């Protein structure tokens, strides 16, 4: 396994979940770059975004905008993974994120799926 840490950004509008996933990401030895709660926030900061991969909830503060965020990031060469309790809805957007992590997020699932980001950059 490649030991170099990954830089991870998170799109999620529940700050408690961000808080928890942030700690899990850091425990895995990766770098948590920050979070945003909406597609609008992401768009505003996208030029300064430095990340090897982005975790994205399907429903954000501005609606079901997670898939649009994944598409936008993909155009910029940044891969993403959905993190959602609604896996069936995630499956409706196959050409957007690389994978889906179910909620509640388990550390082992997160560890495995984050490794996918290495093969895309």
Partner 1 sequence: MSANDSRLDWVLAMAPYRRDADYLEVLLTQHGVPVQRAAGVKELAVLLEQSPGTFVATHEALNAEVLETVRRFLTDQPAWSEMPLVILLDRTASQARIRSQLSAAWPRSRQIYYQRPVTALELLSGVQSSLLARLRQRDVRDHIEREIELRRELNHRVKNILASISSIFEMTRRRAVSLNDFSNDFAGRLAALANVHSAVFQANGGAVDLRHIVDLTFSPYEADSHNRLVYEGPSVLLSPEAATTLALCLHELATNALKYGALSEPEGRIRLEWSASSSDDILTLQWVESGGPPVSEPSRSGYGTRYIRSALSNLFGTPPSIQFRRQGLHCTFGGPLQRVSLKHREV
For residues 22 and 17, what is the distance between their CA atoms, to the nearest angstrom? 8
Residues from 50 through 69 that contact partner 1 (CB under 8 A): 59, 61-63
- Residue 92 is a binding residue for partner 1 (CB under 8 A): no
Segment lying near partner 1 (by CB under 8 A), choices 13-21, 47-55, 67-75, 92-100: 13-21
> Can you point out the beta strands (E) in 1-121?
7-11, 31-36, 53-56, 80-84, 100-102
Cβ contact 39:73 at 8 Å: no
Nearer to partner 1 by Cβ, of 5 and 63: the residue is 63
Interface residues with partner 1 (CB under 8 A)? 12-20, 22-23, 34-37, 41, 44, 59, 61-63, 85, 103-104
């Amino acid at each position: 396994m490649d030991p170099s840490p990954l830089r991870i950004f998170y799109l999620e509008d529940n700050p408690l979940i961000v808080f928890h996933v942030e700690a899990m990401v850091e425990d895995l030895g990766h770098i948590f770059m920050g979070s945003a709660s909406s597609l609008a926030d992401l768009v505003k900061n996208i030029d300064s975004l430095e990340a090897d991969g982005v975790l994205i909830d399907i429903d954000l503060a501005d609606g079901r905008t997670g898939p649009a965020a994944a598409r936008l990031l993909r155009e910029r060469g940044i891969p993403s993974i959905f993190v959602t309790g609604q896996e069936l809805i995630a499956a409706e957007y196959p050409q957007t994120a690389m994978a889906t992590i179910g909620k509640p997020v388990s550390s082992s699932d997160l560890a495995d799926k984050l490794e996918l980001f290495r093969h895309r950059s």
